[in-house]
């Protein structure tokens, strides 16, 4: 009458789990920092310089996600496993990209940041926004979810249009900035 319990063995072992957690933590924290409206913008210079490392980390992350689903879900079969094998590499790819493009410069800005001013190009400054991001200004070249500056005063938004340059000031480095203010660059 006893139940036979089988534990699912973690395919990477304990050191692999610790390493994976250390890699996931900055990316997850970067998302949670953005939720309350602490605007962080990675610089366009960083995005272009980090293109090759971003691709490498994204591909490795996608492959690791695929491998983890393949190895750890023996009890999951059929459509659910197939769905996981399709979604996991896509999610892993975007997480790896997010880790290099957003989390790394965010950590640099948080730890070693100072007052900086970076310039960006406006895509849109006249949309209504959402409950999480009121009166946004959307900028060019920054990954989705991190491409908006929230709570920009209406008098500044009125002056902005697509293609115009803005200077964003705040705590950061040449890799990115936590937005405190912005101004139109003539």
**Residue 92, in any domain of the structure:** yes
Is pLDDT of 80 > 80?
no
**Whether residue 107 sits in one domain with residue 16:** yes
Q: What is the per-residue pLDDT for 33?
A: 65
Q: Which residue has the tokens 């395919």?
A: 11
Cα distance between residue 88 and residue 83, in whole Å: 8
Q: How far is CA 122 from CA 62, 155, 161, in A?
A: 32, 15, 7
Cβ-count burial of 179 within 10 angstroms (0-12 exposed, 13-18 middle, 19+ buried)? buried
Q: How far is CA 20 from CA 11, 40, 53, 93, 184, in A?
A: 12, 24, 18, 15, 42
Banded model confidence at residue 77, pLDDT cuts 50, 70, 90: low
Q: What is the per-residue pLDDT for 1?
A: 47
Is pLDDT of 135 > 70?
yes
pTM across the whole model: 0.75
Check residues 139 and 16 and name the one with the higher pLDDT: 139
**Whether residue 128 sits in one domain with residue 43:** no
Q: What is the per-residue pLDDT for 118?
A: 94
- Of 14-23, 39-48, 90-99, the range with the lowest mean pLDDT is 14-23
**Whether residue 76 sits in one domain with residue 55:** yes
Banded model confidence at residue 85, pLDDT cuts 50, 70, 90: confident
Is pLDDT of 145 > 90?
no
Cα distance between residue 120 and residue 182, in whole Å: 10
Q: What is the per-residue pLDDT for 82?
A: 74
Written as six digits, the tokens of 32 are: 């949670």
**Whether residue 154 sits in one domain with residue 89:** no
**Whether residue 18 sits in one domain with residue 83:** yes
Query: Which residues does 162 contact at the CB level (< 8 Å), separation at least 6?
Result: 122, 123, 124
The number of folded domains in the chain is 2
Written as six digits, the tokens of 75 are: 């009890």
**Whether residue 168 sits in one domain with residue 125:** yes
Host domain of residue 131: 114-184
Cα distance between residue 28 and residue 129, in whole Å: 24
Question: What is the domain-level CATH number for residue 146?
Answer: 2.40.50
Is pLDDT of 181 > 80?
yes
Percent of residues, the chain, with pLDDT higher than 70: 75
């Amino acid at each position: 009458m006893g139940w036979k319990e089988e534990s699912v063995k973690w395919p990477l072992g304990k050191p692999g789990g610790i390493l994976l957690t250390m890699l996931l933590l900055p990316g997850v924290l970067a998302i949670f920092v953005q939720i309350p409206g602490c605007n962080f913008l990675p610089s366009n210079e960083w995005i272009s310089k980090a293109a090759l490392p971003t691709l490498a980390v994204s591909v490795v992350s996608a492959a690791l996600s695929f491998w983890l689903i393949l190895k750890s879900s023996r009890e999951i079969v059929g459509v659910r496993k197939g769905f996981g094998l399709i979604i996991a590499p896509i999610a892993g790819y975007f997480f790896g990209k997010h880790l290099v493009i957003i989390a790394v410069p965010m950590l640099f800005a948080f730890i070693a940041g100072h007052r900086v001013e970076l310039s960006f190009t406006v895509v849109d400054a006249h949309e209504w926004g959402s409950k999480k991001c009121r009166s946004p200004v959307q900028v060019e070249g920054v990954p989705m979810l991190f491409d908006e500056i929230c709570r920009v005063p209406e008098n500044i938004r009125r002056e902005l249009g697509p293609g115009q340059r803005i200077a964003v000031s705040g705590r950061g480095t040449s890799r990115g900035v936590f937005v405190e203010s912005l101004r139109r660059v003539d």
